[in-house]
C-alpha cells in the first residue's frame, strides 16, 4: 500500500497539470493585488493591503478553482487510468482494488494539500512584495497580531481540506462510474455548479458541499461547538457515503481494457 502511494506521488509530481494549477493560483493572487493597486477596494476583495492578510482574504476564492482543478485531476487519476489501460500496471500485480482506490484518495489529498500550501505561500509572497508584510492580520473584521495571524491563516486554510476532500470524493464517485475523461470532468463540474444553487435555500445551505467549500473556514473560525460539529458531520457524511459507494463500484467493476 505504501509503495502504491509512493507511485501515485511520483506520477502526480511528474504531471504538468499540477504546475499549471499552481501558476493559475499565483496569477490569480497577482491579479487581485494588481486590481487593488489600480482601483482600490472597490475593484478588489482586499480590505487590508498587507502580505499577512492576503491568504485569508483569498481563501473563499480558492473554492472556485478547486471545483475545476479537482475534477480535472481526478479524471486523470481514475478515469484516465481505466481508459488508457495503465490501471493494469497495478491491478495485474499483487494489489487489491481497494488498495488501489485508497492510494488514489491519498494522492488526491496530497494534491489538494500541495495546492493549498502553494497558494498560501504564493499569496504571502505576492502580498508582501506588493504591500509589505504589514503590522496586523485582518480577518472577519477582527485584527490579529502577526503570530496569531499566521496561526489563524494556517488553521483556517488547512480546515478547508475537509470540504475539498468531500468534493474530491463526489468527483471520485463520478470518475469510477464514468467511462471517459470528458464525462468525468463535465459531469463533475456540472454537479458542483448545480450544487451552488442549493445555497439559495437557507435550510439546504448547510448541506451543500459547495457552500462548505466556500465558507467552511468561517464556521471553523467561530469555534461554536454545535455549529462546527454539524458542519463537520455533513462533510464527513459526504466523504463516508461517496467513499463507500466508490469502493463498492471499484470492487464489482469488470475492467474491459
Partner 1 sequence: MGNKILLEVRGLTKTFGSKTVVDRLNLRIEEGDIYGFIGTNGSGKTTTIRMITGLVHPDAGEVRIGGFHLKSQFKAAISLVGAIVENPAFYTYLSAYDNLKLTANLLPGVTRKRIDEVLEIVGLSDRAKDKVGTYSLGMKQRLGIASALLNRPKLIILDEPTNGLDPQGMKGIKELIAQLAAEQGISFLISSHLLHEVEQICTKAGVIRKGKLIAEGEVRQLLASGEETVEIVTSEPDKAEQLLRSASEVISVSRSQDQLIVRTNGDCSFKLNQLLMTSGVHIRTISRRPRTLEQFFFDITEGDGER
Number of other CB atoms surrounding residue 143 within 10 Å: 13
The interface region with partner 1, picked from 1-9, 113-121, 198-206, 222-230 by CB under 8 A, is: 1-9
The interface region with partner 1, picked from 82-90, 140-148, 160-168, 175-183 by CB under 8 A, is: 82-90
Number of other CB atoms surrounding residue 114 within 10 Å: 16
Q: Should residue 102 be labelled a site residue for partner 1 when binding is judged by CB under 8 A?
A: no
Q: Are the C-beta atoms of 91 and 97 separated by less than 8 Å?
A: yes
Query: Judged by CB under 8 A, which of 23, 40, 45, 86 binds partner 1?
Result: 86
Q: Are the C-beta atoms of 83 and 181 separated by less than 8 Å?
A: yes
Q: What's the rounded Cα separation, in Å, for the pair 107 and 113?
A: 10
Q: What's the rounded Cα separation, in Å, for the pair 176 and 2?
A: 22
Handedness of CA 112, 117, 120, 126 (dihedral sign): negative
Query: Judged by CB under 8 A, which of 32, 90, 188, 231 binds partner 1?
Result: 90
Q: Should residue 3 be labelled a site residue for partner 1 when binding is judged by CB under 8 A?
A: yes
Q: Should residue 226 be labelled a site residue for partner 1 when binding is judged by CB under 8 A?
A: no
Query: Judged by CB under 8 A, which of 23, 31, 45, 89 binds partner 1?
Result: 89
Q: Are the C-beta atoms of 178 and 187 separated by less than 8 Å?
A: yes
Q: Which is nearer to partner 1, 83 or 205 (CB)?
A: 83
Q: For partner 1, what does the binding mask look like between residues 13 and 52, x meaning CB under 8 A?
A: -xx-------------------------------------
Query: Judged by CB under 8 A, which of 37, 96, 109, 136 binds partner 1?
Result: 96
C-alpha count within 13 angstroms, C-beta hemisphere, residue 65 = 20
The CA-to-CA distance between both ends of the chain, in Å, stands at: 23
Query: Judged by CB under 8 A, which of 121, 143, 248, 257 binds partner 1?
Result: 257
Q: Which is nearer to partner 1, 89 or 244 (CB)?
A: 89
Q: Are the C-beta atoms of 111 and 18 separated by less than 8 Å?
A: yes
Query: Judged by CB under 8 A, which of 22, 24, 26, 95 binds partner 1?
Result: 95
Shortest distance in whole angstroms from residue 83 CB to partner 1: 10
Query: Judged by CB under 8 A, which of 43, 88, 204, 227 binds partner 1?
Result: 88
* 138 dihedral zone (left: phi>0; alpha: psi -120 to 50; beta): beta
Shortest distance in whole angstroms from residue 118 CB to partner 1: 21
Cell (9 digits) for 62: 480558492
Q: Which of residues 146-205 bind partner 1 (CB under 8 A)?
A: none
Amino acid at each position: 500500500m505504501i509503495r502504491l502511494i509512493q507511485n501515485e506521488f511520483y506520477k502526480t509530481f511528474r504531471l504538468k497539470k499540477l504546475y499549471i494549477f499552481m501558476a493559475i493560483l499565483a496569477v490569480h493572487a497577482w491579479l487581485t493585488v494588481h486590481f487593488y493597486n489600480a482601483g482600490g477596494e472597490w475593484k478588489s476583495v482586499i480590505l487590508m493591503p498587507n502580505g499577512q492578510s492576503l491568504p485569508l482574504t483569498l481563501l473563499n476564492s480558492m473554492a472556485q478553482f478547486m471545483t475545476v482543478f479537482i475534477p480535472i485531476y481526478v479524471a486523470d487519476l481514475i478515469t484516465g487510468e481505466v481508459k488508457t489501460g495503465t490501471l493494469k500496471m497495478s491491478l495485474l500485480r499483487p494489489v487489491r482494488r481497494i488498495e488501489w482506490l485508497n492510494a488514489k484518495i491519498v494522492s488526491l489529498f496530497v494534491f489538494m494539500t500541495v495546492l493549498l500550501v502553494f497558494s498560501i505561500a504564493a499569496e504571502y509572497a505576492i502580498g508582501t512584495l506588493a504591500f509589505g508584510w504589514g503590522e496586523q492580520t485582518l480577518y472577519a473584521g477582527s485584527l490579529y497580531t502577526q503570530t496569531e495571524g499566521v496561526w489563524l491563516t494556517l488553521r483556517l486554510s488547512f480546515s478547508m481540506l475537509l470540504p475539498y476532500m468531500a468534493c474530491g470524493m463526489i468527483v471520485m464517485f463520478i470518475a469510477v462510474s464514468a467511462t471517459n475523461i470528458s464525462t468525468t470532468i463535465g459531469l463533475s463540474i456540472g454537479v458542483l455548479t448545480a450544487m451552488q444553487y442549493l445555497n439559495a435555500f437557507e435550510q439546504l445551505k448547510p448541506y451543500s458541499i459547495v457552500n462548505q467549500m466556500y465558507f467552511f473556514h468561517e464556521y471553523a473560525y467561530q469555534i461554536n461547538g454545535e455549529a462546527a460539529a454539524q458542519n463537520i458531520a455533513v462533510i464527513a457524511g459526504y466523504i463516508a457515503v461517496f467513499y463507500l459507494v466508490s469502493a463498492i463500484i471499484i470492487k464489482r467493476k469488470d475492467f474491459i481494457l
